[in-house]
Structure 1
Amino acid sequence: MGNFVRSLATAAAAGAIVLAGTAIPAHAEVWDCETGLNHGDNRAWAVCNQGFGSYRVAAKCNSAHYPYTRTIVGEWRTKVSGQDGQLSIANGDPQGCHVVSAWTQTR
């Protein structure tokens, strides 16, 4: 009976380890990211040059109407190892605001 209980406990522990290993979500591991503003086009942009995962540009956008300052975001881009990153762009004009700063968000 003791060996059966020990075997059952060992199997349960191994199953928990396997489940824990598969239940952990992947996180973006991008780096060497650049952000910038194009004041003439009222746009913010971001691109990640190294790593892998999803990223996008986020930008502080000011307007003369409430809410006076808000965050706008660009489309999510996926960086694949060994491939160039793609620009994520946030455009202030459709939002009715002026882009003043930018940063990169990952997920």
Structure 2
Amino acid sequence: MAEMISWRSGADTDEGAWCISQPSASEQALMENINFACKEVDCSTIQPGGLCYYPVTLANHASVVMNLYFQKLGRHFWNCDFNNSGIIVVTDPSHGIASTNMLSRC
């Protein structure tokens, strides 16, 4: 499991941080996160044929776009809150995933 950092400390995160969906996030929250983040970032990567389309799960797609949003807005802890459905991890969540679609680049 990816290591987590305490983002409530008020400090910004460094470059080795990713925003992913909380394992306990509801499907409704994940859909809301995708809809919200896709207003700010290019979500074509989770569309069919996109680099991060696989695995085709709501949690994966939400994590990809939540992280794109988090990275674009400067990796501030508050950019990963998503109404308490996001969490910042300090180990690359794509490591250990075998895929022909090169998920390590998502």
TM over 0.5: no
Higher relative contact order (CA 8 A, sep 6+): 2
More helix by share: 2
TM-score by length of 1: 0.24
Whichever structure has more strand as a proportion of its residues is: 1
TM-score (structure 2 length as normaliser): 0.25
